Every structure is written in C-alpha cells, then in structure tokens.
A = this chain, B = another copy of it.
Amino acid sequence: MTHRELLVRTHSKEECLNITNMVAEAVSQLGKDEGICLIQVPHTTCGITLNEDADPDVIKDILRSLKNLVPDRGNYDHLEGNSPAHIKTSLVGSSVGVILEGGHLLLGRWQGVFLCEFDGPRQRRVWLKII
C-alpha cells in the first residue's frame, strides 16, 4: 500500500473536524520531501476542505450556512433521508490537493485541513497520497 489511511471518529450529525495535525503527522511519516499531497475521503456524505484554523466559530458558520443552503427537510427523492449530506459533499468536495515542501504540507498561516461530517456520528477514513 503506497497511500496512508487515517481513521477519524466524528461525534455529531454535523461537524467540521480539524485534522490538520493528524494529517501533518502522517505526512511526515511518509518521508517524502516535496510534491503534491492529495487528501481524499472515500465517503459520499462527508467532505474535505481547507479553511481557518484559528477561530472555531468560522467553521461553525460554514456548517450553519451550508444547512441554510441545503435544508434538512426538503423535496428529496433519496429514501435514506441523507440527501442534504450528499449535496453538501459535492459542494465542499471529496478531495483536496496541497503542496508538499521540506517534508511538510505547505499551508497558509490561517489554513487548516477539515473533515466536514454531514451525516455522523461515524468512523471516517481519510486517505493521503503524495507524489
């Protein structure tokens, strides 16, 4: 196996988990010095995004805003009832590329990596691949 898998436990129906440190540690274990790191979730009801790492209110505002855009109850056909989670996943995205340099993810000063849980709580997987 040439990629790396992280396991992440979420605790609410919806939350954005800051996984920056977890990802950074796994990346350093991969031992590559430079390249591009792809961070991918193999799920269809949670996404991955880069956003502000400093004030946790930012990520709360993002979740609330997404809920306003894609209301829990609406005219959905999918019988499992989690269509809003699927829709938010396609809005936020399932993978993100980040530059790697000097063995570290190259993030902006305020950037962190977040797993966006839209249909938890569950155990989620995050895959990392560097090339």
Contact A64 B58 (CB under 8 A): no
A75 and B57 alpha carbons, distance in the complex (Å): 12
Cβ-defined contact, A110 with B43, below 8 A: yes
A interface list, Cβ under 8 A from B: 1-3, 34-36, 38, 40-44, 49-52, 55, 57-58, 60-62, 64-66, 68-70, 74-80, 83-84, 86-87, 89-99, 101, 106-111, 125, 127, 129, 131
| A92 and B92 within 8 A (CB) | no
From DSSP, what is the main secondary structure of chain A's interface residues?
A: mixed
One of B44, B95, B96, B109 near A51 (C-beta < 8 A): B44
Smallest CB-CB separation from A43: which chain B residue?
B108
Contact A55 B78 (CB under 8 A): yes
Structural contact, B87 and A62, CB atoms closer than 8 A? yes
Whose C-beta in chain B lies nearest to the C-beta of A129?
B99
Taking the nearest CB of chain B, how far is it from the CB of A127, in angstroms? 6
